[in-house]
Structure formats: C-alpha cells, structure tokens
A and B are shown apart, each in its own frame.
Chain A
C-alpha cells in the first residue's frame, strides 16, 4: 500500500514537471516551414517552443555528414545490400535455429560479402568507376554505423585472439594478453582515444603517410573493445564443460579442430547475450569520438547550434540524436532477448 502511494506521488510530481516539457516539445513547437525565419516571432524574437526546422534543415549533416550529395545514392545502395543480406539470413535461420552452430560458416560468408560490398560502395574506388570519398567527409549516423561495424568486426576478432592468448598454457602469450587486457580495461576510453591521436603517430616511422583521423579513432575503439570482448569470450570458453575437451582430445582432434568444432560453437551460444550487450555498449562508445572533434551522430548534433542560421538551438538536434541511439539500442536488445534463457526466480 505504501509503495503504491509513494509511487503515485512520484508519478504525480513527474507529470507536473512533464507538462511544460510536453508543451515545449509539441504544442508551442514549430514544425514547418523549413526556413530560418520559421522559428522567429514577427518581432524577431525566438519562438517559445521547440524549433524542429533546425533538425529538418540539417538532416543531411546529421545523417551522412559532409558526404557529397551527388554520391549519396551509394550510401543508399550500401544500406540496401545490408538489409537484403539481413532479411535473407533471418529467413534461413527461422527454419533451423537448432543448427545455429554449424550454419555459422555460411552465415559469416554472406555477412562478410554483404559488408565488403557495402563498404566498397561507401568508400568508392576509381577502378570500379566510383569516386573515392575520404573518411574525413563521412559524418552523422553514417559515421556512427561505419565505426560501430568496423569496431565490432575487428574488435571481436582481436578479442577472440586475446582471449585465447590469455587462456594459453604458454607463459609469454598469457602474460602479454593479460597485461594488455587489464591495462586497457583499467583506463577510460577517452585516454585511449587521446593515445591513438597523439602518441601512436609518434611510434610510427617519420616518413610513413599520416593516418586519417578516422583510422586513429577506429584503432582506439578496436583496441578498447577488444579487451572487453576478450573477457566475454574467455568466460564463454571456460563455461564449456571440461568433458567436451577431453572427449574431443580422445577422438584425436587437434587443438585447432577442438577449438573450431567443439569449444567455440558452444562458447558462442553461451555468451551470446553478453556479446550483444557488449555490442550495444560499443555503439554507445562510438559517441565519444565527438570529443576529439569528429562529427559522428552526437558530434553533428552538437555542431548544429554553431551554424549561424540555427544559433542556440542546442536541444532539438540532441533529442533527435538520442532518439536514434534509443532505436538502435532497443533493436539490438530485442535481438538479445530472442536468445536469452529464462530462469525460475525467487521473487
């Protein structure tokens, strides 16, 4: 009873606070026309409500950054390729969820093909008749997605290698892997980003071509996430029953075969929810590149108020960006729920 009373009191309080917020967001807000004067009163003062034309006008910036408009069809094509592959895989997995482990190779092949094709479309290459679009021009949601995909792909592979190294019976790989993992997990991502930005170029030969900012940010993200993936893989691998390894050894499988056909499929199935949670964290971590001056979704949103037309309109683009991250995360969480096991609980 007390809980109910307390809850409704709190709910009432929140409702009172949310009225002016709701009014600002929708009632007093301006939605169209998309002109600079739309958000000004006839006297020239800013309107009391939200200025959504600020988002509509800068939509291209927020979604693809400074990607040349004449080549935008390639981004659409890349998206199309990925969606087709996703739908195709979803249909095939519906039929046989039980053979999840063995179908992994075909799935990965299609994944890689789709990713490779879409990546090529986005970057472009003169040999294929596509003008190269440098990573420096990528921005907004496009940059967030590309960074996430690159980090996920390279980071998970490196993470697996690190996990195997950490579990190795040999001393040197174990030490190196452990030192790397514990060091990277003990520092904030921002310091790793600064490291990649300022220290890493100093460790390369003076004559080497300078890396793009994108590469440095991607390097930092990959190294950082690899350490976390390593821990997830390590716990997944150690959760595979010892009997499995012994039986595999008794059957005469080599270490690599034991890993590929016995340990990994089971480990992946066990750690899938955690892997997806780590992926969601990865997507959110890409937002930090806005601190080192890159214009990903969050960076572009923070940049909108600097545009003279939309001076002072900080909140609208931030809310827009927040909605996108929400959708991305919730979609991934939905995916995770399909694989979660249900346990009976005490309460």
Chain B
C-alpha cells in the first residue's frame, strides 16, 4: 500500500506542478501581450453578416447583434446540418449496407466499391471537391437546370418550381398562414424563386447555398459508407437460423428482413450508429473549409477579429463536449430488457469508426 500512496503523491505533485507552471506562463504571457481573459468583449456587436441563419421566432441576426448571437447562430447551423445530413446518411447507408448483402454479384460489387472508395479519401477533400464541382461544373443561373414549369411572368420568362445552378438549389415552398385557420379557411401561398436581373439571379423560395449543399452531401456520403458497414455487420451478426426459419414459414426475403432480422439487428446497431452520429456532428466543423457558417467557422471569424483565442476555443470545446456527452448519455439510457438478452455495448465503444 505504501508504494501505491507514493506513486499517487508523486504523480499528484507532478500534475500540480505542470498545471501551475502552465497557468503561471499563461498569466505572464497575457500580461506581456496586453491581453485579458474575459467574455465581456463578446457583448460587442459582431460587425459581420452570417449568410445562413435559422429564422427564430422573435429574433433576427444582424451585424449589430452581439458575438454571443453570432455564436448561437453558428451553433444552430451546426445542429441543423448535422441532423439533416444524418437523415440522408442513414437512408443512403442502410441502402448500401443492404446492397452489400445482396445475392446479385453486381449489386454487391458496386456497393463494396462505393464503400471502399468513399472511406479511403479524406472527408475534407471530398467536401472541397463537391464544393468546387458545384461552383464550376454547375451551370450559371441563366441556364440552370429547371423543373416543373408552372407559369409565365409578364416579361415572358417561364417560371419554374425548382432551379439547380452554381448558386445552389432553389425550391418553391408553400407558406401556410396559420392565423386564418381559426376562420376555417386555409390560405396557402407559395414562396417561389423568381428570376431577377434579367434572369441572371434568383430570389425567393427555399435556397440551399453551394456551401450548404457541399457540406450536406459530403457529410452524408462519407457517413453513409460507415453506416453501410455498421448495418451490414449487424445484419450478418444475426444467426442464419432466424432467416431460414422465416423463409420456411413462407415469408419473402423482404418480409424476413423487415419482421425478423432487422428488429433484432437494430439493437446491435444503435451503439455504433450513435458513435457515427457523434462523428458526423464533429465532422460538421469542417464547414469552415467550404464557408458554411457553422460554429467553428463563426468562432474562427470572431477569433480573427477579437484575438480572443483562449475564450473562443474554450467555447468550442465546451459546446462539442456537451453535445457528445449528451448524445452518448441519451443513447446509453436504453432500458434493460426483462428477458435475458445480452447487454448492448456502450455507445462510446472502443472501436473507432471515422
């Protein structure tokens, strides 16, 4: 026992010394460089616009808003892109994962090639590639890809419901006036993209910028390859007897999957899928490379403007850590089944998937 306490004391002293040394140096450096540690400066107005902000009821971001508001917008953008990309990645990943187990060799081969390719190239490179492709390979607004012709305006220009060009994707969306619901009538008007400047630009409708599209597609495709492997592994882990019994009962392949194999595989899938969701949320920080104003991007701008690196980095780490802990905690709270099924592994499982 004495050896243990000796190690403890020694290690404790070492750690305390190192921390004190670091703090001392920090204080010295702060003083000599004329810096101060504090979040008061964050109350000042940001002075920069944010190209994409989530419309919140009762709040509109302007360059006069405080740095805190800017950070909040960045955080909301992070959440938005993470959730949306996750849905896309889950859908695509499940499809590819099932394709990997198909009895048709061409389907299997293509899915395997897809997974190998996507997993081998860094996410950052994929993001930049997609972004450059959208900016350079997509047509200018005047010659966009157009769908669903619905009217002709007074200048004789045809109007469409959806446009795809190098400024992004523009889609007409319905605007429902909820206040008229009480009077029994439902007023649906359309917020549609309309050509401006003689057809060289568009305004209105739901606008998905190239930055958003690049991040959405890049994150979605990259994560889908890992999700495909997770889905495949979980489905393969179910004993083949289950499938054989289901088929013997007369179920089709699809019914076997839907009612027998998949529900059992789901339990195995959830922890690694949670890890993948965490990974995706952290990877959204690469939005800074394509110009999407998520948390790291906005924080980076603030860092450059105010020079308060300590504070900004602290905020980043706190936010991401809290997100990670929250998500893992929520996923690990699954109730234990009353029958003696095996306990599902923790969501922060040792295997690294990204």
Binding site for B on A (CB under 8 A): 3-4, 7, 11, 170-173, 176, 182-183, 185-191, 194-195, 198-199, 201-206, 228, 231-232, 234-235, 274, 277-278, 280-281, 284-285, 287-288, 290-291, 298, 302, 312, 314-315, 318-319, 321-322, 325-326, 328-330, 333, 344-347
Contact = CB atoms under 8 A, between A and B. Distances in A.
Interface of B: 4, 7-8, 11-12, 15, 22-23, 25-26, 28-30, 32, 99, 101-102, 104, 106-107, 110, 116-117, 119-125, 128-129, 132-133, 136, 235-243, 261, 278, 282-283, 285-286, 288-289, 296, 300, 303, 309-310, 313, 316-317, 320-321, 323-325, 348-352, 354
A274 B310 contact: no
A45 B124 CA distance: 31
B352 A274 contact: yes
Nearest to A285: B122
A3 B104 CA distance: 9
Contact of A195 (B12, B104, B313): B313
Contacts of B110: 7, 11
A346 B125 contact: no
A228 B28 CA distance: 34
Contact of A287 (B22, B125, B239): B125
Nearest to A169: B4
Contacts of B349: 235
B354 A318 contact: no
Contact of A173 (B11, B120, B237): B11
Contacts of B7: 170
Nearest to B131: A314
Contacts of A326: 117, 120-121
A174 to B, nearest CB: 11
B354 A191 contact: no
Contact of B296 (A191, A280, A281): A191
Given A329-B121, A346-B236, A347-B101, 15 more contacts: A3-B107, A172-B8, A172-B15, A188-B282, A191-B320, A194-B309, A203-B22, A228-B352, A231-B352, A288-B122, A290-B124, A312-B136, A314-B136, A322-B125, A347-B261
Contact of A325 (B102, B120, B132): B120
Contact of B11 (A4, A7, A172): A172
A194 B117 contact: no
Given A202-B29, A345-B236, A318 B128 contact: yes
Given A188-B320, A346-B237, A4 B313 contact: no
A3 B96 CA distance: 12
A206 B28 contact: yes
Contact of B25 (A188, A189, A198, A202): A202
Given A206-B29, A228-B352, A325-B125, A183 B317 contact: yes
Contact of A191 (B22, B104, B313): B313
A183 B116 CA distance: 30
Given A188-B285, A322-B121, A203 B25 contact: yes
B321 A186 contact: yes
Contacts of B303: 194, 198
Interface centre among B23, B121, B348 (most CB of A within 10 A): B121
